[in-house]
Amino acid sequence: MKISLYTSAAIVALSTASAIADGHLAFGTDGGDFTWDSYNEFAAATDLSGQTVSITGAWTGNEKEKVEKVFAYFTAATGAEVNYSGSDSFEQDIVVSARSGSAPNLAAFPQPGLAADMASQGLLTPLAEGSDAWVRDNFAAGQSWVDLGTYADKDGADQLYGLFYRVDVKSLVWYVPEAFDESGYDIPETMEELKALTDQIVEDGGTPWCIGLGSGAATGWPATDWVEDMMLRTNTPEDYDAWVKNEMKFDDPKVIAAIEAFGEFARNDAYVDGGAAAVASTDFRDSPAGLFTIPQKCYMHRQASFIPAFFPEGTEMGTDVDFFYFPAFEEKDLGKPVLGAGALFAITNPSEAANAMIEFMKLPIAHELWMTQGGFLTAHAGVNLAAYADDSLRAQGEILQNATTFRFDASDLMPGEIGAGAFWTGMVDYVTGTEAADVAKGIQDRWDAIQ
C-alpha cells in the first residue's frame, strides 16, 4: 500500500527533518514487505516537531548503521530528531549517567538483569499503563516477554519496564542436508525422535554429535546452554524462573536431572566426535567443523544462531548447512519452549518523545526495517515474515513465532560468580567425569557463599 500521511502535522513532519523523506529513508515510503497502515496511523497522530529523543545502547559499527535507518522513519513520521549513541561500555556508561541525572531518554539493554537492577534503584520509568496487555496480545509467547520485562521497583512492586526488540535464538540444531538425505534421516520433531535418530546414526556406523566447550577463560559456557534448554524441556517455565532466582536450588533433583539429560549426549563416547573426553578440550568455534569434513565426523551440532560465523568460508545456508528446532519431549507436554537472548528498550529519562518512541517500537514496521537488513529476529507476532533478509532468518523467526515459552539464557541472569563462573567450571567437571549431583552441590555451595 502507498503510504499516506493524512494530517497536516504528519505531512509537515515528513517534509522536514533534514529532507529525510526525500533522501535518507533507506527503503522509501511505500511498497516492499513493510506494514504501512499502522505506521500511517502513528504518523497521523504524532507531531513532535522540534523535539529530540536521545537513545543509547550497545549497538555500534554496522549495527548502529542499521538501527539508525529504523530511527529515521520515526523522525519522518513525527518530526522529532533521534540522537543514538552506541557504546562498547554501555553497561557501565548507562549506570553512571543515570545516577548522575544525565541519562538519555531511552536505553537498549542487551540483558534484562541490568535493567532489573536499575529499576530497583528507581532509575527506570515504567512503560505506559496497558503495555503489559499489549505485549501479551502482540508477541508470540507474549506472557514470557511480559515476565522478562517486569521488574520490582524501588518499593518492591512489580512493573513492566522493558519492551523487547531484537532477539537471538539458541534452541537450534545444525546439520548438513545432503548428509541427512543420503542416509535417509528425517528431521526429528520431538526429543524422543532426536534420541532415536542419535541411536540410529550410531547403529549406522556414524557419530551423531559434535560438542565443544572450549572458550578460553569462558570454557564451559556452551554446556550451560544445553542444560538451560533441557531445563525448559523437562520442567515448567515457573521451575526455570525459580532456578534462575535461586528459589529452586542448583542441587534440586530437577536441576540435576536436566544436567544428566545433557550428559546423555555429551558423556557418551559413541555419541560425540572424539569421544566424551574431547568435549571439554574442543574449542566451541572449532566444534562444528566435523559437519563439513569428508568423511563426516558428526551429523549434528546444537548451537545458537551466531554459529555460522565459524563455518567454513563460502558455506551456503540452506544448501551446505541448515538447522532445525531443538525439539521438546512429547511425553512432557511442555509445548515448544525456546531459549535465547535479546535486547529491550527501557525509559531512562522520561519525555513525550521517549513515550512516542516506545509506541513506534510496537509497530511491525519498526521491526521489519531491521529484519530486511539482516542480523535481526523478533518475537513480534504482527510482522510480515517476508521482510526477513533470507530464508535462514525467516525460519528462525518462525521458530520464535511458534514458541509457547521463551526464556532468557539463565547463566546471563544469575550472579556473575555463578552464571559466568561456577556454572561454567562445573560443567567442565561434569563432562570430565564428576557426577551431576556433586557438580550441582558445588555450584549451590558457591551461590550460598556469596549471599
Checking if the pLDDT of 384 tops 90, the result is yes
Length of the chain: 451
Residue 361 has pLDDT above 90, yes or no: yes
- Cα–chain center distance at 357: 21
| 12 has pLDDT over 90 | no
Measured between alpha carbons, how far is 324 from 212 in angstroms, rounded to an integer?
Answer: 19
- The reported pLDDT for the residue numbered 249 is 98
pLDDT of 3: 36
Alpha helices in 253-390, H assignment, sequence order: 253-266, 352-361, 364-371
Q: Does the structure show a pLDDT above 80 at 18?
A: no
Residue 7 — very low, low, confident or very high, per pLDDT cuts 50/70/90?
Answer: very low
The amino acid occupying position 72 is: A
pLDDT of residue 20: 40
The answer, yes or no, to whether residue 372 has pLDDT greater than 70, is yes
- Inform me whether the pLDDT recorded for 21 exceeds 50: no
Mean pLDDT, rounded, for 401-426: 96
Mean pLDDT of all residues in 378-400: 98
**Which tens digit of pLDDT belongs to each residue from 293-326?**
999 999 999 999 999 999 999 999 999 999 999 9
Domains defined along the chain, listed by start? 8-168+340-408 (3.40.190.10), 172-338+410-450 (3.40.190.10)
What's the CA gap between 35 and 37, in Å, rounded? 6
Q: How many C-beta atoms lie closer than 10 Å to residue 269's C-beta? A: 11
Q: Which of 18-27, 93-102, 254-263, 277-286 has the lowest mean pLDDT?
A: 18-27
Least confident of 3-12, 211-220, 357-366: 3-12
Contact (Cβ atoms closer than 8 angstroms) between residue 40 and residue 92? no
Residue 285 has pLDDT above 70, yes or no: yes
Span 399-413, pLDDT tens digits:
999 999 999 999 999
Determine the pLDDT at residue 24: 78
- In whole angstroms, what is the distance from residue 293 CA to residue 207 CA? 12
The yes-or-no verdict on residue 431 having pLDDT over 60 is: yes
Q: What is the pLDDT of residue 136?
A: 98
Of the pLDDT bands very low, low, confident and very high (cuts 50, 70, 90), residue 22 is very low
Cell digits of residue 53 = 529523543
Cis peptide before 295 (omega within 30 of 0): yes
Is pLDDT above 90 for 6? Answer: no
Secondary structure class of 407 (helix, strand, coil): strand
Instruction: Using the predicted structure, report yes or no on whether residue 150 has a pLDDT greater than 60.
Output: yes
- Provide the pLDDT for residue 292: 98
* Whole-number pLDDT of residue 364: 98
Q: Is the peptide bond before 364 cis (omega within 30 degrees of 0)?
A: no
Tell me the pLDDT band of 120, cut-offs 50, 70 and 90: very high
| pLDDT for res 451 | 82
- Say which residue the cell 513480534 belongs to: 380
Query: Using an 8 Å Cβ cutoff, are 336 and 402 in contact?
Result: yes
Residue 371, SS3 per DSSP:
helix
Question: Which residues touch 32 (CB under 8 Å, ≥6 apart)?
Answer: 372, 387
